[in-house]
Every structure is written in C-alpha cells, then in structure tokens.
Amino acid sequence: MTYHDQNITIIGQGYVGLQLAVAFSKEITVIGYDLDISRITELQRNYDRYEEVPEQILKSCKVEFTTDPSSLNNADAIIVAVPTPVDKDNTPDLRPLENACISIGHALRVRASSSKPLIVFESTVYPGCTEDYCVPIIENESGLTSSKDFTVGYSPERVNPGDTEHTLSNVIKIVSGQDHITCERLANLYSHVAKSGVHKASSIKTAEAAKVIENIQRDLNIALMNELAFLFNELGIETSSVLEAASTKWNFLQFKPGIVGGHCIPVDPYYLTYIAKQIGFNPEVILAGRHTNNTMPEKLAIQIKKLYSNAAKDVKGSHILILGATYKENVKDFRNTPVVELNNKLITYGANVVVYDPLASSEDLEHLGLKPAPSDVLGYENSFDCLILAVPHKDLAQMTYKQYVSLLNTHNAAGIILDIKGVLKPDSRDDIIYWRL
C-alpha cells in the first residue's frame, strides 16, 4: 500500500489532533474523530476555538470531522492524540487514553479489511505505558494480538501552542515501533508531514521517555530561575542583570523566571515520577522543581503583601487588577493557569481583585472563578492600588509604562506594579513601587 492509498483516523481533535489532521489531509483521506460534540460541530463550521488553525485553512482542508466511532473501523492507521492529565493528587489520569483504546479495540473487532492496521500514540505518557497499558486493553477489547493482527507505534507530539516558528512541518518528529518494520512504516508516514525529518528511536519506551523529559528539563530550569529570582531579590540584586551578564558565557542556558501553567510542563513530570515511585525510585530533583513552580502563585502573593507594607498600605480592601489569565501569552488556553491560584490567594488577604485578558470573554473568566474587569478597564485612570501584569499578551506588552501608571491611584500612597516577566520599561518615580522576578 502506498502512502497516498492510506486513510487515517485521528482520535482527539484538540491542539495536537487537529493540526495532524489538517497536515495529513493535504495528500490522503483523513477523519478527525472526537467525543466532544460541540468541538466537532465547531470544526465542521470551520471554527477552531483555540484559534490555532485559521478559518480559511479549515475551509480548504479535506478532513471529515465526526463523533461516529465507526470511523475507526477500516482505517489503515489510527493516531491517538487525546489528553493525558493528572488528577487532584497529581496521579496520571489515563481515562481518556483508556477510552480511546477501548474504542480502537471495538473497531478492530468488526474490521472488514484484511490489512494490518497501524495504531500510533502521540499522547504524553510514562515509559512503558503504550506497551504495558494501552496494548493489553486493545487486545482484550478486540480479541486480537498485537504484532500479529495489528501493529503499534509511538510518536510523541511536539505542538507548541501559539508558536508559529516551531510547527509540525519544521520540527524533527520522533518515531518508534514495537518492531523494526513498524518503526519504518511510521517513519514513512510522518515524513510526509514532518519536513525536517524523523528520528527513529530505538524503542517505544525510549521515545516515551524522551518526550516526558523534554518538559521536565524546562520545568526544572524555570524552577531554578524562580528560586534565584527570590534569592537575588533578598540580596538586592536585579535578576535580569545577573542573567544578562551570565549569558555572555557560551554554554550558559538561557532560561527566565516565571509562573508555569498549561497542559504540559506542570503535568508531564508527574508521569515520570509516577512510574519512578512504582519501581521504588525517589525522583527528588524532579519533585523539588515541581514544588518550586507549584508554589510560585503563593510566593508572589506574599511578595505583593510585602510591597503593600513598603507602600504603607493595607491589602485588605484594596483594589487589584490582574492583567492576563491564560497560561501563556498570546494563546487562548486556560488549562492549569497559575493566575487562578494567585487571584484566590489575594482574595484571602481581603483584596478586591478583578481580571482582564484581551483574549478572554467574561464567561471564560467566570468559568475559572475569576471576577472579570470591565472590557474598557484599561481606560480607568486612578482606579487601582496594584497592577499585576501576569501574562503579557501582545496587546498588553505594547502598552507604555506611563499607561500602566495612569491606572493607579497614587493620591494617598504609592501605587504598586508587579511585572512578573519583566516586560515593562519602568522609569524612576517616588509614587510607584515596581517589582519583577
């Protein structure tokens, strides 16, 4: 069977699955399957709620979007791109993956085609999950045997929401299979959409481990920068100046402090620590980094309280405006946003907190438990005691320092600006206390 003769069904039409579907549909038949009826209805109407795939591309692509599980029955390849979150105890929540495997098993049981289907997992998991957890479910539900009746591979997703530079077409794609033939089949399949090439991992476990440590490395480096930022603050040293000086060395890694959210960095480490604990290994460093980043909203709230004390003001009863609510700038994604915890902590101090995000509707913010600021709040002069620039979306980062200052009430005490990522260019003023990581 040639590449162009294949048909693919992709389970999960979120950030990852949708972009895969659009890319593959340029040359072959693709079905985008998802259980979320509203999501599929939106895609059928050429609307991507995450604003990652433009309307014109959805109109022109040849993807068939459906909630019908029979779309899996005769696919030559099934790609699984479902979420792999953690529960409230930070234990891997494999229910979306389990449901996908059950659906695949049912489809294979009634499959009419005699060809051996390829099952590919893209979801981030712990090493061993594909072969030790997913495959047995598929075998049990289908009555078939892996390798003999169907073949399994793993190719971890590397989608970075909001990043137009590093896309599916121009980043190297890791591929792996349960055997050499499967790996080669996977490499051929993905080479048509990953134009920068594929890397053939030695095993599925290797590919799973590679994916999960990509984000663990980033999490740990951000945690280090966060710890250093608070240390340097106590020492009276400007963190950005330290990093600027240190980065003149050729092998200094350029990371910056900040609050961590989203569906990857705060989640993926727990998949590796889970399997580590299962085998009796204590992953101290990984968990320490997670603790540092998890407690950043609380540390920032405490810092704000200190700034109020410096300004001879009381947090209780004060008016605070948080700017930005998504987990990262220029992306309409609120998953695991640390802004919620920061907001809640400030409320426990008795502050009156409102939140404005140019990418969010009032309904979006209310769904997160946040109090929306008026849509024209950026014109409210002399209205707030404290401004927190939490997520510097393009529209917010382009505002001048003077515009931010105008929002602050400085009649009786100094106004406070907390610029978490340090994007503003402050001037020296006696009536403003400015702080950044």
Q: Show me where the domains of the chain are located.
A: 3-202, 212-293, 295-436
Burial of 5 (C-beta count, 10 Å sphere; 0-12/13-18/19+): exposed
Q: Catalytic residue at 183?
A: no
Measured CA to CA in angstroms, residue 247 lies from 224, 243, 275, 397 at distances of: 15, 6, 35, 24
User: Which two tokens mark 223?
Assistant: 């945690």
Q: CA-CA distance, 428 to 401, in Å (whole number)?
A: 11
CATH number for region 295-436: 3.40.50.720
- Number of helices and strands in the chain (H, E): 16, 13
Q: CA-CA distance, 61 to 46, in Å (whole number)?
A: 10
Measured CA to CA in angstroms, residue 153 lies from 78, 198, 253, 263 at distances of: 10, 14, 33, 23
Of 188, 126, 184, 178, nearest to 154 by C-alpha is: 178
Q: CA-CA distance, 288 to 269, in Å (whole number)?
A: 11
β-pairing, 63-66 vs 319-323, is: unpaired
Catalytic annotation, pick one of 61, 129, 264, 386: 264
Q: What is the full per-residue pLDDT of the chain (437 aa) written as tens digits?
A: 787 888 999 999 999 999 999 999 999 999 999 999 999 999 999 999 999 999 999 999 999 999 999 999 999 999 999 999 999 999 999 999 999 999 999 999 999 777 899 999 999 999 999 999 999 999 999 999 999 999 999 999 998 888 888 889 899 999 999 999 999 999 999 999 999 999 999 999 999 999 999 999 999 999 999 999 999 999 999 999 999 999 999 999 999 999 999 999 999 999 999 999 999 999 999 999 999 999 999 999 999 999 999 999 999 999 999 999 999 999 999 999 999 999 999 999 999 999 999 999 999 999 999 999 999 999 999 999 999 999 999 999 999 999 999 999 999 899 999 999 999 999 989 999 999 99
Q: CA-CA distance, 261 to 337, in Å (whole number)?
A: 5
User: Does domain 212-293 correspond to CATH entry 1.10.3720.10?
Assistant: no
β-pairing, 151-154 vs 173-177, is: antiparallel
**Topology alike, domains 3-202 and 295-436:** yes
Residue count of the chain: 437
CATH architecture of 3-202: 3-Layer(aba) Sandwich (3.40)
Of 95, 154, 98, nearest to 121 by C-alpha is: 154
Measured CA to CA in angstroms, residue 41 lies from 17, 23, 49, 67, 205 at distances of: 16, 20, 11, 9, 36
Whether the full predicted model's pTM is greater than 0.85, yes or no, is yes
133 and 94 in contact (C-beta within 8 Å)? yes
Location of structure tokens 């401004």: 387
